[in-house]
Chains A and B, each alone.
Chain A
Amino acid sequence: MTDFVTPREMAEMIPSGCKLGLAPDDYAAAPGLVRMLIDRGIRDLHVVCAPIGGMQVDMLIGAGAVATLETSAVSLGEAGGAPCFSRAVRDGSIRLRDATCPAVFAGLTAAEKGVPFMPIRGIIGSDVLEKRDDWKVTSNPFDDAEKIVVVSAIQPDIALFHAPEADRFGNVRLGRRRETMLLAHASKKAFVTVERISEVSLLDDEKMAAGVLPAIYVSAVAQLEKGGWPTGLYAEYPRDGQEIEKYARAARSPEGFQAYVRGLGSAA
């Protein structure tokens, strides 16, 4: 059963210390709900970026909410580097697990399929591999002469993302954003904010059904219009470049970051 809750209630349902899977900016990121997590003072998160992070991840880091960060990159896109992330790396305040995008997908795929690991091409000879104790080099069991990397399964406690639409049965339309579907399949629970809620089942339309995440994976839905702002929502609205520039400038200092987040809080 999918619970229909308010965004504030959803924020309360995500506990400090959990392993939280997040979608990339402009695809299915949920900065609206992330701001509420910051407001309520969430702490000690293990954030899994599927497979990269942007503004919402930088904000969580700036707010001191992240203990461990597993990601292939953190960037603000055209607005440049992620200031709170860079600061946290320098002062060692987060535990880093640098990855490469397809290895994150391989780890999530292992969890989706309920197997302990997944083999993946490439990676051998990179320092990314050297720094990961949960990735190993093994030989191909069918050809001993070939070395291949295996990555362990990645199973977030909660996947949090924003989508265009849910129906009142808890089905969520993701369309082409299959990496978000994978994240939801791999995670123990999926919490989803949506622009709108349909009274008609999204599974009734065969043309749409293949792009719908069924309610069996969806623990909670909250309607939050513009919940992807100021990053974009795939095929719905683009990022607000000016706002992200404003954030990038403000977050250059910890004080500026705090002022920016407080400003958003009072505006919300």
Chain B
Amino acid sequence: MSSRFSYRKYIGVTLVALALLALPFALSAAGTAWVRIANLAILFVFLSLGLNIVVGFAGLLDLGYVAFYGVGAYVYALLASPHFGLHLPFWVILPIGASVAAIFGVLLGTPTLKLRGDYLAIVTLGFGEIVRIFLNNLSQPINITNGPQGIAQIDPIRVGGISFGQTDLFFGLSVSGPMKHYYLLLLLLLLVIVVNLRLQNSRIGRAWEAIREDEVAARAIGIDTTRVKLLAFAMGATFGGVAGGMFSSIQGFISPESFVLTESVMILAMVVLGGMGNIWGVIVGALLLSFVPELLRYTVVPLQLALFDKMLVEPEVIRMLLFGMALVLMMRFRPAGLWPLGARQREFSIDKAAK
């Protein structure tokens, strides 16, 4: 029985892996834009998983998460662009960006240790805005961030002799830049998921659960809540930093406009919609909120033209309308998210039914 199950599981995993490997070829048939969309979706999965550590595991509401994304992106941009004339390779910058983001995580965590809920949300929101405003204004007196113009001509990733900025032929297959990014992101995603699963089942993961449920009780059973909370902020920020670095190198251009409050809110919506605390739920949430708006973008206009012979409502307006409605409906009918953490609860009801 169990061997058949694991056999099935093995086949399932193999099929999913093959599908993921073939996906960019299928997508590029529909247009390279779709491969780019897939890449952005994976970046949002990174971000959601990072925020999930803070919000889902440790229960600390963070509305300024995009700040770490921005920090990672700017670290990459400054160290691999003509702006300072530095051109470090990506495997050097990515860890630096992650570390700098982690330091920012601790910087945010330290003054907010005693705050929870609404108050924490307000402070983290302020933090996100502070970082954005700094990025916007650090062009004077010394030009560090180049202000609102942002930083352009960021180096593409280069592995061995292969540049991710151009199309290459491999075994007769034409592999474009975005497709290479896709495979690199997929590899990183695998790593991020493994790290998250390990974290959740670790001693630290259990400590996060405890402080999420009751901080006083957590202290009483011997959890150093200060250290554990800072660790949550730092770990979450690290993922944000990595995502930021990848974003920088993929886009080739960044400006403070990419790191606004709406992005933080969007990432939080992905975490909440998917199911706070459940890694798989969060991934589903991030993918849904990344892809569905893009699908709408490509269907709303033709649909209106077919029905009314003219465009009545801008796609952007419909997108936000549907997005808002979806969130309201979710909160009404599935407040714990599409795929919530309560697997244990189901186990229990199954037990009860069996008796």
User: Do A and B come together as binding partners?
Assistant: no
Chain B residues near A (Cβ < 8 Å): none
A residues neighboring B (CB under 8 Å): none
